[in-house]
Chain A
Amino acid sequence: MTETTETAEPSLDLLYSETEDDLRAAVRALLTDRAGHQDLLGRIETDSPYVPGLWKSLAGDIGVAGLLVPEKLGGQGASHREAAVVLEELGRAVTPLPYLTSAVVATETLLALAGESDAAAGLLAELAGGRTVAVLAVPLSTAPEAELPLGESVAAVADATAADVFLVLRADGLYAVPADEATVEPQTPLDLTRPLAAVTTGAGSGARLAGPDAARAAVRRGLLAGAGLLASEQLGLAEWCLEETVRYTRERHQFNRPVGSFQALKHRMAQLWLDLVGARAAARAAADALATGSADAPLIVAVAQAHCSKVAVRAAEECVQLHGGIGMTWEHPAHLALKRAKSDQIALGSTGRHQDAIAALVDLPAPA
């Protein structure tokens, strides 16, 4: 059974287009202006870490919420490639926004149903315009191929406190439940920039969007897109960590030299850069495979997740360590990146889960 490896892989476009560079510049300018690390440090211990009005500006004015949605369904008619660039920037700035949850996972789930269900198409248009935030009621750790949780109460749902609507998977299908018909109990998250909550919905609440089979397929598609594009968030985060560490170690003097001139430190940063070269290629590959609907997408997404999760955590850990004592302080934003990176490592499937998926896809089975 070796035909999986013999198959010619489709050609992937791994570069950034000019449009994508322009989009990046617009998003970065807005985030720099409105959601800098100092702004975040002031907000993370309040009831809501979300910067007021930022979602409206990003989703409404720049139009990023509907990038995945075709124009005829009310979106921008762009693709996962552009959404990935937005996530790189949100990762760089560790921005608390329900982008991954609503504009990617929930949106992609609804896209799978929009052809069959008017209710799904209607909700999708609201999401695309940024007027409504929808969140899939599964734990943030759910991997694309994992056993999907059913039930009336689900813990560790990301961005639940920002949701207007929950997409709830039950035995008989997928339901859209308005947030005011659900009970949302905030939990204290490791990552202060991605709030978590337990969500409880009544058995009969909400409107049914799809039957059980279509619902499962749609949710898996949503989670796959989420996992694939999370790699771009991890890439952006790692990139910020490396840049900031290089900047700091060039300026910080000890032993009458910039600490960045010590070979032991230089090699660690060079190694990180090397990992980032790989992370960028893998994250771009995942975004492009999702955008083209490639049959290779589940494998490329798993590869990107397995690699980028590790790179982001290592970059954040190195950032803390190479900043010395400064890196341990609450005032320095390194901990925001570390908490996000560690939480992202578990989000949408841990490294081990993605490796198990790879083992099955490329026929490298575990021992009997």
Chain B
Amino acid sequence: MTDAEELLVRTRKLLDEHPPATTDRTDFLRARFDAGLAWVHYPVGLGGLDAPRALQAVVDAELAAAGAPDNDPRKIGIGLGMAAPTVLAHGTDEVKRRFLRPLWVGEEVWCQLFSEPGAGSDLAALATRAVRDGEDWVVDGQKVWTSSAHTARWAILIARTDPDAPKHRGITYFVCDMTDPGVEVRPLRQITGEAEFNEVFLTGVRIPDAHRLGEIGDGWRVAQTTLMNERVSIGGARIPREGGMIGKVATTWRERPELRTHDLHRRLLDHWVDAEVARLAGERLRQQLVAGRPGPEGSAMKLAFARLNQAISGLEVELLGDEGLLYGEWEMRRPELVDFTGRDAGYRYLRSKGNSIEGGTSEVLLNIVAERVLGLPPEPRNDKDVAWKDLAR
């Protein structure tokens, strides 16, 4: 067990030995990883010190105060939030040592090859095949909605390895090399005009069996680690009042009195209250995590965030009147990261439509809340015990 005092000592030692002002950014981040100060709750030797997760804040604050570089978590969010916990939980020692350090440092970007054109919310219906060939697996299929695929070095991938088993039981989880010649990444232009996502075509991609995470046929369970972490990763940071989308429209309201109407005022105040309540709920969730009493509120945060972003950004376009009729630019770009509150009001309005779809649709999350939190009876299922190959598609 490592306490806050000891973490501070280690952090200061790191800063002494690698002064941020004179140390190369990547070198500093590697040294931080090796000192166990990357994610302190990870095991010794894998970027951590087996310390309580809550103590990461102590390290982060000390490093931020010293002007140390960070690993740009917004750009490598999929690696940090989803790939890393899965590799840690299900990888061999060799796999953990190979992947975690460059992942955390940001030298290697990760993406996630889960969703398919025919399997979105019904993720377990996926059709991408992986067939064993000696020490390798050969993968063929198509994935979609892949953020960062054009910058990624590695991908977490789920593929069907046993079509005769029911759909949840015939899936296996792999780490896929995005530089393999069989991998083709095509931009997928979206509603905003830009291409933040990609389609990924996999043709005869060879993955060594050593890059399998978990047992053959156990990929669905392994994927649960990834998906749980995807939802938990929201809500960790403290957000200031008016921190998100509401801040944008509140600023416009204050600066542009000529746009104000009574109807918009009432709706703005409704949203302001909802945003403040969502912020307080996020703060309460954070306090529960710090106190070691995590609740099921994480899924609530994503649902609330989606609904709020859509309502507020819609109001903002309306508030702008004639300006709301215009749009910044439609030219296709491939941004390196997602910025929900960036660009103009029209962009914010259109981009927010994805908030209730990406990372689990609001409808699926409401089902999860109803069944797992409230204990309501599940929907009747007629696909559970049927071989995947016999399901209607």
Q: Using a CB–CB distance below 8 Å, which chain A residues touch chain B?
A: 1-2, 5, 8-9, 12-15, 242, 246, 249-250, 257-258, 260-261, 263, 266-267, 269-271, 273-274, 277-282, 284-285, 303, 306-307, 352, 355, 358-359, 362-368
Given contacts A261-B378, A269-B374, contact A364 B278 (CB under 8 A): no
Q: B377 near A: Cβ within 8 Å?
A: yes
Chain B nearest Cβ from A220, distance in angstroms:
21
Residue in A267, A285, A367 whose beta carbon sits within 8 Å of that of B370 in the complex: A267
User: A279–B379 Cα gap in the complex (Å)?
Assistant: 28
Looking at the assembled complex, report how far the CB atom of A268 sits from the nearest CB atom of chain B, in whole angstroms.
9
Nearest chain A CB to B208's CB is how many angstroms away?
43
Least CB distance, B329 to chain A, in whole angstroms: 29
A267 and B363 contact, CB distance less than 8 A = yes
Considering the chains assembled together, what is the distance between the CA atoms of A89 and B195 in angstroms?
A: 52
Chain B 270-295 residues near chain A, CB threshold 8 A: 270, 272-274, 276-278, 280-281, 283-284, 287-288, 291, 293
Q: Which 4 A-B pairs have the closest CB atoms?
A: A266-B370, A261-B377, A367-B260, A14-B284
Q: Evaluate contact between A15 and B274: CB separation under 8 angstroms.
A: no
Q: Among A260, A278, A368, point to the contact of B257 (Cβ < 8 A).
A: A368
Question: What are 8 A-B contacts with C-beta separation under 8 Å?
Answer: A14-B284, A266-B370, A266-B371, A274-B303, A278-B304, A282-B276, A282-B277, A362-B250
CB distance from A178 to the nearest CB of B (A): 41
Chain B CB within 10 Å, residue with most, of A1, A12, A14: A14
A269 and B278 contact, CB distance less than 8 A: no
How many Å from the CB of A251 to the closest CB on chain B? Answer: 10
Given the complex of chains A and B, what is the CA–CA distance between A46 and B192 in angstroms? 64
Q: Is the interface of A mostly helix, strand, loop or mixed?
A: helix
Q: How far is the CB of B218 from chain A (nearest CB, A)?
A: 29
B216 CB, min distance to chain A CBs, angstroms: 34
Name A364's contact: one of B268, B277, B371 (CB within 8 Å): B268
B242 contacts the other chain (CB 8 A)? yes
A359 to B288, CA, bound (A): 31
With beta carbons under 8 angstroms apart, the residue of B241, B242, B269, B378 that contacts A355 is B269
**Please, how many angstroms separate the alpha-carbon atoms of A270 and B373 in the complex?**
9
Pairwise interchain contact A281-B277, C-beta atoms closer than 8 A:
yes
Which of B250, B254, B262, B367 sits near A263, CB closer than 8 Å? B367
B380 in contact (CB, < 8 A): yes
Neighbour of B367 across the interface among A258, A270, A285, A366, CB < 8 A? A270
B31 CB-CB contact with A under 8 Å: no
A249 CB, nearest partner CB in chain B, Å: 7
Q: In the complex, are the beta carbons of B369 and A362 less than 8 A apart?
A: no
CB < 8 Å neighbour of A250 from B254, B280, B376 = B376
Residues of B within 8 A of A (CB): 240-242, 247, 250-251, 253-254, 257, 260-262, 265-266, 268-270, 272-274, 276-278, 280-281, 283-284, 287-288, 291, 293, 297, 300, 303-304, 363, 366-367, 369-371, 373-380
Q: Are B250 and A5 in contact (CB under 8 A)?
A: yes
CA distance A187 to B23 in the complex (A): 78
Contact A15 B265, CB 8 Å, known A250-B376, A267-B366, A355-B270: no
Residue of B whose beta carbon sits closest to that of A302: B273
Beyond A257-B380, A282-B280, A368-B257, is A274–B304 a contact (Cβ under 8 Å)?
yes
Asked if residues A274 and B369 are in contact (CB atoms below 8 Å), the reply is yes
CB of B241 to closest CB in A, whole Å:
6
- Please report the C-alpha to C-alpha distance between residue A12 and residue B262 in the assembled complex, in whole angstroms: 33
Contact (A366, B265) CB under 8 Å given A5-B241, A246-B375, A278-B278: yes
The one of A282, A358, A367 in contact with B272, judged by C-beta atoms closer than 8 angstroms, is A358
- Min CB distance, A88 to chain B, in Å? 15
**CA distance in complex: A367, B272 (Å):** 17
Taking a contact as CB atoms closer than 8 A, the residue among B241, B261, B371, B374 that contacts A367 in the complex is: B261
Residues of B within 8 A of A282 (CB): 276-277, 280-281
Question: How long is the Cα–Cα vector from A365 to B272 in the complex, in angstroms?
Answer: 13
Determine if B261 and A281 form an interchain contact, defined as CB atoms under 8 angstroms apart.
no
Q: Are A284 and B284 in contact (CB under 8 A)?
A: yes
Determine whether the beta carbon of B370 is less than 8 Å from that of A270.
yes
- Minimum C-beta distance from A242 to chain B (A): 8
Given known A269-B374, A271-B366, A281-B284, contact A303–B273 (CB-CB < 8 A): yes
In the assembled complex, how far is the CB of residue A296 from the closest CB belonging to chain B, in whole angstroms? Answer: 9
Q: Nearest Cβ in chain B — how far from A261, in angstroms?
A: 4
B-side contacts of A9, CB under 8 Å: 240-241
Q: Give Cα A242–Cα B370 distance, bound, in whole angstroms.
A: 11
| Closest chain A residue, CB of each to CB of B369 | A270
Q: Contact between A250 and B272 (Cβ–Cβ < 8 Å)?
A: no
Residues from chain A with Cβ under 8 Å of B304 in the complex = 274, 277-278
Of the candidates A258, A281, A352, which one forms a contact with B280 in the assembled complex, judged by CB atoms under 8 Å apart? Answer: A281
How long is the Cα–Cα vector from A366 to B367 in the complex, in angstroms? 39
Docked-complex contact B377 and A303, CB < 8 angstroms? no
* Given known A12-B283, A261-B379, A274-B304, contact A2–B363 (CB-CB < 8 A): no
In the complex, the chain B residue whose C-beta lies closest to that of A307 is B277
Cβ 8 A contact of B262, one of A261, A267, A366 = A366
